[in-house]
Homo-oligomer: A and B are copies of this chain.
Amino acid sequence: MNMNPVSRGVSADDLDPKAVLEVCVCHNIRRAARAMARRYDAALAGAGLTTGQFTILAAAAALSPLAIPVLREILALDRTSLNRTLKPLEQRGLIEVSPGAGRRPGRIALTDDGALAFRDAGPLWRAAQAEAAQRLGTGRTGQLLGLLTGATAVFHD
């Protein structure tokens, strides 16, 4: 029997699924991000923070008071996603959100408790970051950071 591509229902345009797993940039970056986030989250759990929350506190610490759209750019996060993500931090009193009416954006500011939490998390983040650099190797860490920054720049809207 002649199993040419057409009779098998397989065209030359069909994907090689194994190759997809190997070269898909999206799959590979998300997989690495998951593996890494688990480590950072485990470390920061000692301060009662997730990596995402810690990052928001860092941005607030660096730029407080901070317009929410600016934070959106820093995080490359969707508008509705960020607004939701801020809720737990606000309810725990780590940040203060001043609403902006209508078309005016709101602003967030780090509270004293937020500054405390950020400081408490400092050594834990440093340990996670140091372990990451050690596992990756210093050279590769810098290389990776550069590529990720570039990727964010060319992919974010």
Contact residues of A with B, CB < 8 Å? Answer: 13-15, 17-18, 20-21, 23-40, 51-52, 55, 57-62, 74-78, 118-119, 122-123, 125-126, 128-129, 132-133, 135-136, 140-141, 143-145, 147-152, 154-156
Contact = CB atoms under 8 A, between A and B. Distances in A.
B151 A35 contact: yes
A40 B26 contact: yes
B152 A135 contact: no
Number of copies: 2
A21 B155 contact: no
Nearest to A15: B122
A26 B128 contact: yes
Given A15-B125, A36-B155, A150 B136 contact: yes
